[in-house]
Each structure stands twice: as C-alpha cells, then as structure tokens.
C-alpha cells in the first residue's frame, strides 16, 4: 500500500521493525509477523494563517493516526507547538479531527510505520520531546515540524528521504498562501 502526492510514490514499507532490524530482514515468517502488526501514519497538517493567510502565519502540526491491521484509523492525536515567539509550548489533542477545521488547507503523509500495538509511544515520544526553541525569535511551528521530523529520523522511525520530501511538500503548501505580510 503506497501513497502518491505530486507524482512521487511513497513507500509504506516500514523504516524499522519492532526495534530489532532482524525482525523484518532475517525472519522467514516476516510476512506473517507483518500481518500481526498495526500501523501508525505520520502526517504533516497545514492550516491557513490567522488573521491573514500569509506564508509566515500558516500553522503546521503533526498528526499521528493509529491504523488497525486492515488500515482503518482507530484513533489519532495532534502534536504541535502553540503560542508566539519566545512563548511556544507543546500541545497535544486526541479529540478533535483537525481535517474538519475551517482553516485546514492540506495534509502530507510522511510515512506509515509498524507498531506492536496502539500503546506503542515511540513515535509520539520522539515528537513530543523535541526541543521547543523559545530562544530564537524567528523560530515557529513550521520550524518545530522540521525539528520533530528530524527527531523521528534520529530515533530510527522514518527515513531521511521521506522527511525531505514531506518538508518540501509542506513548504510548497505554505508558499501557496494568497497574501504576503
């Protein structure tokens, strides 16, 4: 199962197994093992700017969907930084569906990774514990998404090429804002 955006085919093959690379590459029963896995899909969300929809005001966040063995979303959470320069703080919301927000622009699938169960928090933790940089005035939620995705690479959860493509696509969506501030 792959996804395509902008003519680029993204692989849904796992970037890692259960933390042990031999789980995928060395097991004869690898196909059976994968059938028992559940999945988490990591997605970048882009929202219109407020009060003006200009590139620097577009809000970005990360969205994790837990998928069952049939690929059906069973739960989700939004991870983001909220606030303003020097006063950003982490936010997490497992209730709202961000794609239904009036300001929702589009989403970018970064990767779909295997997990042993929905209680597997490696992806969430890699994102959540990404540093919030309140020391740099120009740092914002867009930078945080890039930093958080790099944390996911460092944790071995996603591939650098997946992150590079996703960030490029996020930037394209940000630059589509109709106004300049």
d(CA 133, CA 164): 21
**CA 81 to the chain's CA centroid:** 13
Q: Is 144 within 8 Å of 132 (Cβ atoms)?
A: yes
Structure token pair of residue 101: 């927000």
Residue 121 token pair:
């928090």
Q: Are 106 and 46 in contact (CB under 8 A)?
A: yes
The DSSP output letter for 11 is P
> Which pTM does this prediction carry?
0.80
**C-alpha closest to that of 40 among 148, 107, 140, 115:** 115
Match 């983001």 to its residue by tokens: 80
Q: Residues 7-16: pLDDT tens digits?
A: 333 233 333 3
Contact indicator for 104, 45 with CB cutoff of 8 Å: yes
pLDDT band at residue 93 using 50, 70 and 90 as cut-offs: very high
The domain limits of the chain are: 10-175
How does residue 27 score in pLDDT terms, banded at 50, 70 and 90? very low
């Amino acid at each position: 199962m792959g996804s395509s955006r902008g003519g680029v085919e993204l692989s849904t093959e796992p970037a890692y197994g259960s933390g042990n690379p031999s789980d995928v590459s060395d097991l004869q029963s690898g196909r059976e093992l994968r059938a028992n896995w559940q999945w988490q899909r990591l997605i970048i969300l882009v929202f219109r700017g407020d009060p003006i929809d200009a590139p620097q005001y577009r809000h970005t966040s990360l969205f994790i969907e837990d998928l069952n063995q049939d690929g059906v979303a069973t739960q989700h959470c939004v991870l983001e930084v909220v606030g303003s320069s020097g006063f950003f703080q982490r936010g997490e919301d497992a209730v709202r569906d961000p794609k239904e927000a009036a300001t929702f622009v589009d989403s970018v699938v970064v990767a779909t990774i295997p997990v042993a169960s929905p209680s597997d928090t490696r992806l969430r933790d890699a994102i959540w514990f990404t540093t919030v940089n309140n020391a740099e005035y120009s740092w914002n939620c867009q930078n945080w998404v890039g930093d958080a995705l790099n944390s996911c690479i460092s944790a071995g959860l996603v591939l650098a090429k997946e992150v590079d493509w996703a960030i490029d696509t996020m930037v394209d969506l940000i630059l589509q804002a109709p106004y300049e501030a």
